[in-house]
Structure 1
Amino acid sequence: MNINGIMKPLKTHFVERMSVHVYDDRGQMGAAAAVAVGARLRQLLQDSERQVRIVFAAAPSQNELYEGLVREQGIDWSRVCAFHMDEYIGLADTAPQRFGRYLTERLFSRVQPGRVELLDGLHDVDQECRRYGDMLRAAPIDIVCLGIGENGHIAFNDPPVADFEDLLDVKAVKLDEACRRQQVNDGCFSRLDDVPASALTLTVPTLMAGRELFVIVPGASKRSALTAALHDPISTACPATILRTHPGITMFTDREAYGL
């Protein structure tokens, strides 16, 4: 263990600009990621009197990160403005699969950020994209916590709709079937027909505009996508390949996802 009581990674190396840390299991991975995000958040809060702005992903792959963040001490969450990166279109307010609900239950209700801004997939789509984009552009995004989908997506930027030069901040997209199947594989929906066909998502440039990115990718189901993200040519065939170009990015993964 290191001085924070977190197990040392099995492997640490750089892939282009990305620092990659591989842990034995997803519990160790999530704990280490939470320590890193918590330390950065405390430093940002110490260095400035303004709110710190963070975008959070909503997915089972982030469970261990959020459990760890809840336990992190010395964070003045009242000075944090929290956003999330995607939401289904048309899914009822009461649906347990809504990403805003996931983040509220897993994180926001437990740490009480000073400001929480949720995407609403029940509003007029164009108006909601403009509203949320305006808020995101109002000040820099300090931290983005994200994962990688089984088809290589980041947020809901699936290969058919990902655009590295997107002029929009937030947009509506049709979800790739592989992306929708992942929601069933993750246990979020019981059948493919139950998964909404469209969603709102932050675009690739919006995510990449974050000053510091923390990428959390556990599990054997992500191995193919992770291998592509780390080693394939940078292209929208695997949208996550673009992450390798970010100047302030750290990846946390586990043995199963990495293939160690």
Structure 2
Amino acid sequence: MKFEQQLAVDQLSVYISKTEEILARNSAKIAQEYLENVLENKPEASILLATGNSQLKFLDALISNSKIDWSRLKLFHLDEYLGIDPEHPASFRYYLREKVEKRVEPQVFHYLEGDTLEPLRECDRYTKLLQAQPIDLCCLGIGTNGHLAFNEPPVANFNDPYWVKIVRLEKETRQVQVEQGHFSYFDQVPQYALTVTISMILSCQKILCFASGNNKASIIQRMLKGEINSSCPASILRQHSKAILFLDWESAKLL
């Protein structure tokens, strides 16, 4: 593996690759080796997955590696729109079922049920599933406003007493979903979502975080050079000693 640059910001390791493709290959190798090590020491492992564009190449590279015994892995995901059908192309359950579950056949994939009729009960159900074992690996991206999962700046709480909660989405986040082609127009994007919290993410044994492209450069600069506070939720990763941030040259250009 070759990273063009490596640095540390507080406790966070930052690895910079020349291109998104190289970033995906190198990060997948790190994830693979870590999971192999975990499975040498216990019968199964648990992974928390995300669905952003920054995950696509990484997930493909990880899945293409036949050395991982996916039948020993329990999978979870970070968030889901409230009220969306699981067959909707923009549903994160649909995305992960098509991009991951059908390709690797894990031991189980626990999904957040966004179309539940009782959202608070769903938060409780998913919390119990997450707390039933340590989460060995969390893979996630960073939103253009610094959000992790759907923990937007106004609702991000570094000491959240909950592990799963209902949040209202910022207009900026909803607009990005339209710009990326997941929805045809703004009013189609759900206003609310179910999300794991910052507290839950920080409980994970290891965190791999991804940001690539020119549109992430500004928030990455703020995340790594600004204050650690909830106005940039991703900044809290600087306090996690087992977290790695993967960047390409475009997203790292303002550092």
| TM-score for both structures, normalised by structure 2 | 0.97
1:237 to 2:231 alignment: yes
Q: Percent identity?
A: 36
Q: 2:186 aligns with which of 192, 199, 209?
A: 192
Question: Structure 1: which amino acid aligns with 2:79?
Answer: D
Aligned partner of residue 151 in structure 2, secondary structure:
coil
Question: Structure 1: which amino acid aligns with 2:35?
Answer: L
- The answer for the alignment partner of 1:97 in structure 2 is 90
- The answer for the alignment partner of 1:180 in structure 2 is 174
2:23 and 2:182 mapped to 1: Cα distance? 22
Q: How big is the shift at 1:181?
A: 1.5
Q: 1:152 aligns with which of 123, 142, 146?
A: 146
- The answer for the alignment partner of 1:126 in structure 2 is 120
RMSD: 1.1
Aligned partner of residue 55 in structure 1, secondary structure:
strand
Asked if the contact 2:86–2:114 (Cα under 8 Å) also holds between the matched residues in 1, the reply is no
1:187 and 1:132 mapped to 2: Cα distance? 29
1:55 and 1:155 mapped to 2: Cα distance? 11
Q: 1:201 aligns with which of 160, 179, 195?
A: 195
- The answer for the alignment partner of 1:256 in structure 2 is 250
- The answer for the alignment partner of 2:19 in structure 1 is 25
Q: How do 1:104-119 residues align onto structure 2 when only pairs under 5 Å count?
A: 104-119=97-112
1:252 and 1:72 mapped to 2: Cα distance? 19
- The answer for the alignment partner of 1:43 in structure 2 is 37
| TM-score for both structures, normalised by structure 1 | 0.95
Question: Structure 1: which amino acid aligns with 2:87?
Answer: T
Gaps of 5+ in 2: none
Gaps of 5+ in 1: 3-7
Further displaced range: 147-156 or 225-234: 225-234
- The answer for the alignment partner of 1:54 in structure 2 is 47
Q: Write out per-residue CA displacement over residues 210-243 of structure 1, whole angstroms, 9 at most, x where no aligned residue.
A: 0100011111111111111111101110000001
- The answer for the alignment partner of 2:56 in structure 1 is 63
Asked if the contact 1:33–1:216 (Cα under 8 Å) also holds between the matched residues in 2, the reply is no
- The answer for the alignment partner of 1:140 in structure 2 is 134
1:175 and 1:115 mapped to 2: Cα distance? 29
